[in-house]
Amino acid sequence: MSNKQVNFKTKNLLYEFSQIIQNFDKINIKETEPIINDYIFEGDLSIMIDDLVDLIFMKLNEGKDAIIIKQHVFNYLNNHKIILQEIHSWLSNNQNNSNSNYLFGYVNYHGIGTNSDRKKAIELYKKAAELENNVAQLDLIHIYIHGKDNEINYNLAFKLSKKLAEKEIPSAIYSLGYCYFRGIGTVYDTKKAFELYQKAADLGNSNGINNLGWCYYGGIVIKSDDQKAFELFQKAADLENLSGINGLGCCYEKGVGTDINKQKAFELYKKAAELGSNSAQYNLAKMYEIGSGVEKDMDQAVYWYQKSAEQGYKYAQIKVNQLLKK
């Protein structure tokens, strides 16, 4: 192309651009909202909402940790080609039943397609719970037991756990056992707790299986049995239970029910730590600090102590304070 042709073409482009700028204020501009993909119908979305709530309910009863459940939710949305902002937008405009109330709370609580807003989420959980939504009630139990400040309500946690346990819901049976074990909203009763853990475990709840492991490990209610504890931790770990993976790491580190294997312990702690277990993060930090099962690395030790402390793990918080003084 000659220089004259280039200059002519450039002048034309500049002229067209100037016309666009001059007419810009004449363009009718309005705020647009995220829209659902054209090939997804409203009825399909309603079905998907119910499917997602059923999925979360199933995973809670299996004893899956929140971070694992969240990944299952992401996988479901990805498989159905749903953009995260789209599901949030649709839910915000379709609050017409307890499932949509709950799921809108869930996406707000976990920051799916929006910034996390736990206060708003809890209000939505309560709204769904008042409509007898079992999943919302299960999430409220966890919040009432492990929440912060004014979110904690031990009496309501026990009341909801007892109510749902009577419906034979595995996650609630486990939670009721935990309430008796810790004296949450009721009197301490480790025998009752053990029975409920066993019942939840028989129904396939990995939290029940894991806590039974700790009962056998510490000789709580039942005679101490290292081999049984190891088997239960192994079973819970196989079911992706983070506490079970951490417990299995403890067995390999200390030789409980198996031979000592520091390398195996390190690998298990690291797996659970990376998935968010605060106790595993603490145990991993200890191994880095003393060089057990891995080369000594104080930077990594401090990093994992801090991660654990940020999640409220008391022993990690003490350790971080000690290291800061040094």
Confirm if 177 and 192 have CB atoms less than 8 A apart: yes
The reported pLDDT for the residue numbered 325 is 82
pLDDT tens for 122-160 read 999 999 999 999 999 999 999 999 987 678 999 999 999
The reported pLDDT for the residue numbered 7 is 45
Q: Is the pLDDT of residue 33 over 50?
A: no
Confirm if 318 and 312 have CB atoms less than 8 A apart: no
Q: Fill in the amino acid letter for 110.
A: H
pLDDT tens for 71-112 read 999 999 999 998 888 889 999 999 999 999 999 999 999 999
Rounded Cα–Cα distance for residues 107 and 90 (Å) = 12
CB atoms within 10 A of CB 99: 21
Region for residue 223 given its phi and psi (left: phi exceeds 0; alpha: psi -120 to 50; beta: otherwise): beta
Q: Which residue has the higher pLDDT, 200 or 38?
A: 200
CA-to-CA separations, 313 to 13, 178, 277, 309, in angstroms, rounded: 63, 18, 10, 5
Q: Is the pLDDT of residue 22 over 60?
A: no
Q: Is the pLDDT of residue 36 over 50?
A: no
Q: Fill in the amino acid letter for 288.
A: Y
Least confident among 111-120, 142-151, 218-227 = 142-151
The reported pLDDT for the residue numbered 42 is 56
Q: Which residue has the higher pLDDT, 24 or 216?
A: 216
Query: What band does 324 get if pLDDT is binned at 50, 70 and 90?
Result: confident
Query: What band does 41 get if pLDDT is binned at 50, 70 and 90?
Result: low
Least confident among 33-47, 183-197, 208-222, 259-273 = 33-47
Confirm if 205 and 173 have CB atoms less than 8 A apart: yes
The reported pLDDT for the residue numbered 323 is 87
Confirm if 76 and 55 have CB atoms less than 8 A apart: yes
- pTM of model > 0.85: no
Least confident among 14-28, 31-45, 82-96, 290-304 = 14-28
User: Stretch 275-298: mean pLDDT, rounded?
Assistant: 96
The reported pLDDT for the residue numbered 40 is 52
Q: Fill in the amino acid letter for 259.
A: D
Least confident among 144-158, 247-261, 284-298, 303-317 = 144-158
Structure tokens at 241: 């239970």
Q: Where are the alpha helices (DSSP H) in 80-205?
A: 84-92, 98-109, 118-130, 134-146, 154-165, 170-182, 190-202
Confirm if 135 and 53 have CB atoms less than 8 A apart: yes
Which residue segments constitute the domains of the chain, with CATH numbers given? 43-151 (no CATH), 153-236 (1.25.40.10), 261-325 (1.25.40.10)
Cα diameter, the chain: 96
Mean pLDDT for all residues in the chain = 88
